[in-house]
Amino acid sequence: MKPNKHITLIFLLLAANTLLAQVTFETKVSKKKLGINERLRVDFEMDKDGDNFTPPSFDGFTVIGGPNTSVSNSWLNGSHRYKKTYSYFLSPKSRGNFTIKQATVEIGGDIYKTSPVEIEVTAAVEVPRDANDPNYIADQSIHLVAEISQPNPYLNEAISIVYKLYVSPNTGVSNFKEIDNPRYNDFWSQNIEIDGLKAQNGTYDGEEYLYVVLRKVVLYPQKT
């Protein structure tokens, strides 16, 4: 009986190691070399459902979109395929070589990490004007504007800033969210309450647009 127990134990250990080896958690990027005026998409993909996902800090980049989460389940020839993806859209802050560092996730009680990915940011490049390219559509049809009441205030003089998001009527944007708060160094600030995010008719650069007032704030300069 003892040999049988040993065989069973070895089989269980092999099965456990096989299950662990089957977990795939990796980083995929839209490109590894881009101009400073381009955007980078980063996807963190796993083939098992995980918890406590932690992205890297994205040093050298500004997060302009995400995290967006997608899950797919499919069956092929009786085999189940699962994929969960966390997507981010990044804008480079400067030229140079950067690293998309490790993301982590917990799957089945174990911690998994992605491999780092090297990214090179070059000088600005000419972006092809493809009318069907989402980046081109966004650049041409969506504009964030800060309207300042007084660009040269005195010390402690109140000035107001109104943040407006202009969207072309031809763009199918129906949902958005603020991903970062503005910072006002050397100013005392007070947010003004707005009555919901209501779309209004307006003009941008002489063309008809819809716009939403995202935020109103009053600033008081504390330093000359």
**Burial call 189-200: b when 16+ CB within 10 Å, e when fewer:** eeeeeeeeeeee
- How large is the average pLDDT for residues 109-130? 88
Question: Tokens standing for 196?
Answer: 């919901």
At 173, is the pLDDT very low, low, confident or very high (cuts 50, 70, 90)?
Answer: low
Question: Going by DSSP bridges, is the β-strand pair 187-192/207-221 parallel, antiparallel, or unpaired?
Answer: antiparallel
- How large is the average pLDDT for residues 139-162? 85
Decide: 167 and 141 in contact? Cβ < 8 Å.
yes
- How large is the average pLDDT for residues 142-149? 85
H helices within the chain, ranges in order?
A: 2-21, 134-141
- How large is the average pLDDT for residues 69-82? 76
Beta bridge partners, 68, equal 87
In a domain, 115, yes or no: yes
Final residue of a domain: which of 122, 143, 163? 122
User: Distance between alpha carbon 93 and the CA centroid of its chain, in Å?
Assistant: 15
In this structure, the answer to whether residues 202 and 147 fall within a common structural domain is yes
Residue-wise pLDDT tens digits, 17-63 = 444 458 899 999 999 999 998 889 999 999 888 888 999 999 999 98
Give the pTM: 0.53
pLDDT of 131 > 60? The answer is no
In this structure, the answer to whether residues 112 and 177 fall within a common structural domain is no
